[in-house]
Structure 1
Amino acid sequence: MPVLTQTVKNRLSTILSVFSALVFLQTLFFKFTGQDESVHIFSTLGIEPWGRIGTGSVEFFVAALLIFPASRFVGALVGFGLMIGAVLSHLLFLGIVVDDDGGLLFAMAVSVLISCIIILNLEWDHRPPT
């Protein structure tokens, strides 16, 4: 198995962090403005409106953490938790396709989940001390 140099790890971590942060930030408009699809999702889960607004607030916080290298590990860890919740919500309650989106929301959740897992692996040596 090839060993990645620290430079490659840093670049890959940055790319995946920016991607994940952009996905988190992109969904904020839908959550904070009460778009029909977002309200439907959180109503189905039985946590509308506080779950929608609370999740959006945490996603904003995670996006900010992912942007800065010093906080990237914590951002990826919290993002991992959020995306586990999103993926499980789709699989257990919502279905893969929501409001005829062709599975786009589910695919975005899975891609951010995978990105967060990779970031955690790449940033393991930079995690906060315990």
Structure 2
Amino acid sequence: MTRHRILSLAAWAAALWIAYEFLWYEQYKLTGPTLVFDRLSDWSGVPEKPFRLFVAGMEMVAAVLVLIPRTQPLGALFAMGIMTGAIVFHLFTPLGVDPYEDGATLFKEACFTWVMAAFVVWVRRDRLLALASSVLPLPRRAA
């Protein structure tokens, strides 16, 4: 197998992880209040339910985008943004790194998912640039 093929397969494995991670936690976000969103709501003043459902919606969109070949790098960028938010909230709010006192599982998964998303972006950077140039007219270089 070529290096390109190995990286492509690894990017698909990372994309599957991202989709799994987001979709697995939807069962908690969609069925009712959670400790995480309760604490963040108390701290920020943002109502818990809209906050929780907004995050769930963003995660579902990212999960779908990362599984579609054409939009995979865009979905990975979106996942990086979502996970950056999660990491920041864990580090800089009363939520803390280990809110469930389970060895910081959520925080570790957020960090790992961020790394997987960054890997997909790196492997698919050419596709991401092509997607960007189809949406945004990029200036051409003079010959």
TM-score, normalised relative to structure 2: 0.82
The CA deviation at 1:50 is 1.2
* CA distance 1:59–1:41, shift in 2 (3 Å): farther
Structure 2: which 5+ runs fail to align? Answer: 137-143
1:96-130 residue CA offsets vs partner (Å, 9 max, x unmatched):
10122320000010000011111110000111123
Q: Which moved more, 1:105-114 or 1:41-50?
A: 41-50
* CA distance 1:15–1:91, shift in 2 (3 Å): same
TM-score, normalised relative to structure 1: 0.90
Query: Superposition RMSD on alpha carbons, in Å?
Result: 1.5
Q: Aligned pairs, how many?
A: 127
> What is the percentage of aligned positions where both structures have the same residue?
24
Structure 1: which 5+ runs fail to align? Answer: none
Q: Which moved more, 1:22-31 or 1:41-50?
A: 41-50
- The answer as to whether partners of 1:42 and 1:49 remain within 8 angstroms in 2 is no
- The answer as to whether partners of 1:42 and 1:51 remain within 8 angstroms in 2 is no
Pairing partner for 1:17 from 12, 15, 18: 15
* CA distance 1:71–1:36, shift in 2 (3 Å): same
What corresponds to 2:62 in structure 1? 62
Equivalent position amino acid for 2:70 in 1: A
The CA deviation at 1:76 is 0.5
Q: Larger Cα Rg: Structure 1 or Structure 2? A: 2
What corresponds to 1:87 in structure 2? 87
